[in-house]
Structure 1
């Protein structure tokens, strides 16, 4: 490297150049100067930037070939030789701001040799995003350093990068000009500087202990495989550093009187300290309500349950020595869950599949209300000027629906309301008369034994397609007038519940019989015959509804009846008037009647 006003030649131990094979270890592209400055630039000369360790000495060893505007490169043999030379010449920390994807036994032997000499090797994990290992960083005794902005070179199965650090630094080049260095090389130099600070706190510490201490000061998060950021302040105070000056909270990121919602507020607190901020906590009621892992880091402040109104929040910053600085901000909070009652429908009520819901909340800050059934949610609308909300929802089956209240603070309250849902029209039903029954004139048809959760509201009847009427109360019955019609009568009932759900029942057919029986006289005196004494009349009668009886009428009076087929009617002519007007009539079982033509007989 080249001496600068930030890193004078008196701070440089005699080194070696393995490229030119001489003792002038001067770099040509400025990379070595940049890395050495980030690591060890003077703190107090007011000339340029400050290095991590402004008092340590640098033992420069050149192992890479300058290539003008292209990055320097070299051989594994030169790098291995440089590691061995540095270890043999008393280097306690060997910084390797370089890497290769090729694993080399020669390089591994050199790292092992350095460890045996008591040197801690700290190497770059490279500037590439793939997770493949880079060497010599990936060797076991080496601290592998990645860039803090890309802490994902590890995987769950291969956690080979140990720590990460910032990858941008400023320095003075050999011409005394400001320059910027970037990449994992800078990150490696920072970690090497932190390692020297650790040695300064405990000079007799072994390389193994120093490596353990550095890793312990930047532990992996539980369950995470990303490497944590190196922590110089924690390392120093873990090794016995002293600090009596408390930190100062410079930004709470809370405003007095602001409302903290139930979900909390995302904040980025800041604090200053003469050494370093370990953490910043937000305390409410003496309990931690939010925590930032460092100054400027994000945290979420959550107000615990039960607070409503003004809440003092103590913002407390801790340094690594345990000193505390505080600031207090009084905010407003509302963590109480809103609630309410269901006005309609009543609890346990029978409701239709589309339910009209009205709810009321005593909380004035409710901003939204929804009614939910299973996985479906329906927004309700506020009734202007009231704390009532209304709307409709679909409830396809029986059970509980829930009403969710949301207030302005993000609090959510839920109430459950059981109902019985009637999503089906009436079921069952027995129709009279029975199917196939024979009816005469006007008869009554009824439907009974209907089942419905909400109740049957009406029943309508059609006969052979003609509307008969509507009955609105059970038992449901309507008259059917057939007049003189004979034949099939197709009865169709339609039943509707009080929610308008209707079912048309299966057609029910009866027979209208309004015609008299077939009737004839098979054997009797002829018209105008002269008769005397016992006279017999033989009759044939038939009907689909069945014959009830057959009667013989003489001069308007029934003189004989027969109820059995093979009908025989007889009377004594001698007891009748001289002139007799005679008819036979037959009744079917429905009451239909038919007469024969009138015959006139004379008594002898």
Structure 2
């Protein structure tokens, strides 16, 4: 049996119904639909049910007008773009190449393009791309005229030019063709001091000594602003020469030598350094002349006059600045070539010394004042109240040297040789009663003494007291026993020329 589509019949039935029946049918259908919605409310809608966004944004305007002049100083342009889901990103292209990219903020759309690579006065195509969240993109292009570079210019005279005070003409050149205004302004107040709106771009001012700062502001026809500046040294004063001095580095004991030199003159040594302080804001050179001959340029003169025998010289210093203003000062100097003169030195030459140390002292004279004196070549030296103590290590000749330096660095040496003798002399009784012998009347006692540096004397001691001294070899004494008690003690003592001594053993005698 064939099936029959009932739809045509249903349509015909509906069409045949009256208005009342139709209303009743609609109410029943609405009730059934409501029941169906209640039954299905817990089931979520499927993602596949949402339609995909394939509609690109629509750009009404990129915010620029065809043929307008685009400047870097211009506020970023404001595009007008709409999209059913919202624009998220804007991008600008310049002549088809990427320029910048912007996220769309809640505050609205802003965009700009980088035209720094486009020469001023040249047309450039700025394209705006607008992206929605689905990645759909729209674009619109406007052609503008680029003018994004700040004006530049050249100031003359050039910066760091040195000049005298007075009228000064400052010119700004090498300006772009569309320059509209050049202003001379103050950096401290920001205010314009003088303004030019057409060529010649020249300013006249009056300078005073010191540093003069020139600042100009350049504005082109489209409002781009550039700045330039120059500094000038205004100098009406020649250099000043001061603080001339002679010096020499430490010669002994780290004592430096410094002598002030004035135009009245000074005494200097044959070797050292002459120094002058020349001050000027544009100092160009300093020259040193000795007896009219140029010897050096710069702040110092390495003075070495040892090859000469002169005792005086004339030193001239000339200082010149960048404007050829020159100052000259002449200093007469006396040249002291003589070291300190020794007037006394102890011990004497070939003197005999003894003990663990001996003291040396000296006296000198020098018109330039002694600054140091020292012993050289001896490791064992210590201060002593009357000079310097030398500690010999063995007997025999010992040479020591004093070194003296005056305040000009002149040096003198003085040497002495002494004989160190710490060896006692030899002493022997050659004739005398034996110990504990009985004696009476006058008793003869003789002795022999010896020393490599000579015997000075032999002494006779009775009961420990000195009673006689013999200074010549063949030393002999006579003892008058009547002058002493029933018993007494006798002893001999010998001294060498250095002061070393030796004694015989004591003998005891009884008077008989």
Give the TM-score normalised by structure 2.
0.42
**Quick check: which one's strand share is greater?**
2
Give the TM-score normalised by structure 1.
0.37
**Quick check: which one's helix share is greater?**
1
**Taking CA–CA contacts closer than 8 Å with sequence separation of 6 or more, which of the two structures ends up with the larger relative contact order?**
2
Q: Which has the larger radius of gyration?
A: 2
